[in-house]
Copies of this chain bind each other. A is one copy, B any other.
């Protein structure tokens, strides 16, 4: 069953000890285990048991600017994504490993090399989530007073990805000869300097890692602004996004997929996966109680501080049960534009008070929350998937690992029953899980032209 039917894709999102800001206070969360291998191994093995396409590790290389609140009441610490994913490569066999690295604060040679290394060590399971980093304070950890402007960040990101993919191509597929008898290790005619000289980077190459099992690691992106979409349409193979309603998600899906042909790409070459925060109960009432119980664990100062942060506006002077004040459009802010606009639109559309908005932001951080039974959750996922709002979902468990375990034990079987989801891995690499083709190497001459 389900073999001929189109199936959806799933990512398991790692965010601290869970996506909900109070995850760490939940009685079943092993918060003291944070940053230990055991904590993450459990997560990865549950996700692999659930036949997830990939694990997805978010990242910002800084602590938040509002240090006092962030440190006192939230879990702002994060293992470096590549270090974490490599450790997980050894304790998993099938699942993809997607990690976030910023183009604003990194060097293309290092990034190309790390993901190529992970792709080799994992046997073809690496993916790079390309971000330009939205938190301004990050600049000050890297010798700059100010964050790069939004459009300049994307310009740099585009060049960065060009350099990285050129480095991934620098060894052709059949460059390695490894003939012990003749002493030929590789064919130097199939190893290419990239000789890139651009606006932001000059990189000679070649990479000191040969062509990887996936050809190239999978490219993931998350920007949903106009600039972000154009960038994704050119280069991304997976887009991670956030939508509150079916209509919005459908609009985005049609818009982004529609931009692909202009770059000579087919709509199938890019998978769109919105984030979903599931809260699972035996009954809808139980799920709502769980959600409320989590919400009660949010320290009062945290919610206000989080919403003020996302909206770049100190809300502490406004009544909690009143509406948001007038705020400017996202064109006037630098970084996290699409998240900003999404939260603002949601507040306006649903006429939320500041207190209600806090509940939304501290939970799913702008992503869709669905509290319900496994069947209700599967219904929602199925509807979005069948109605062309997405190709799959990033599942953001509210707290870990139990939130993921419940999804795997209760929702995944329901999706499988409906033929919407794999019951076993059929592929070997992440590209194969996602149904993405092996990329062509820009340096390889076709047989005809020889």
Contact = CB atoms under 8 A, between A and B. Distances in A.
A121 B79 contact: yes
A191 interface: yes
A67 interface: yes
A28 B227 CA distance: 53
A73 B142 contact: no
A110 B183 CA distance: 39
Nearest to A44: B90
Contacts of A180: 24-27, 31
A177 to B, nearest CB: 9
A121 to B, nearest CB: 5
Interface in A265-302: 297, 299
A413 B350 CA distance: 73
A77 B205 CA distance: 12
A49 interface: no
A318 B36 CA distance: 57
A25 B183 contact: yes
A141 B109 contact: yes
Given A73-B183, A201-B143, A35 B67 contact: no
Contact of A79 (B41, B117, B191, B206): B117
A408 interface: no
Contacts of A110: 61, 80, 105-106
A208 interface: yes
Interface centre among A26, A77, A175, A206 (most CB of B within 10 A): A77
A161 interface: no
B25 A121 contact: no
A40 B123 CA distance: 13
Contact of A188 (B40, B68, B86, B208): B68
A121 B184 contact: no
B113 A80 contact: yes
A71 B107 CA distance: 24
A185 B41 contact: no
Contact of A185 (B27, B75, B83, B86): B75
A185 B71 contact: yes
Interface residues of A, number: 79
Contacts of A118: 83
Nearest to A137: B204
A189 to B, nearest CB: 9
Nearest to A126: B83
Interface in A187-207: 187-188, 191, 193, 201-207
A253 to B, nearest CB: 34
A183 B117 contact: no
Given A84-B86, A121-B87, A31 B184 contact: no
Contacts of A210: 35, 77
Contacts of A26: 180
A176 to B, nearest CB: 8
Contacts of A76: 208
A61 to B, nearest CB: 6
A84 B83 CA distance: 9
A191 B122 contact: no
Contact of A209 (B78, B137, B187): B78
A243 to B, nearest CB: 28
Contact of A84 (B24, B40, B117): B117
A37 B76 CA distance: 31
Interface centre among A32, A37, A63 (most CB of B within 10 A): A63
Contacts of A77: 208-210
Nearest to A203: B141
B109 A142 contact: yes
Nearest to A91: B90
Given A88-B90, A187-B72, A188-B68, A35 B117 contact: yes
A296 B183 CA distance: 11
Nearest to A101: B110
A42 interface: no
Closest 5 pairs (CB-CB, A-B): A86-B86, A90-B90, A140-B204, A35-B120, A83-B117
Given A37-B90, A78-B208, 12 more contacts: A27-B180, A36-B123, A61-B208, A67-B206, A71-B187, A73-B183, A83-B114, A86-B86, A107-B142, A109-B141, A141-B205, A143-B202
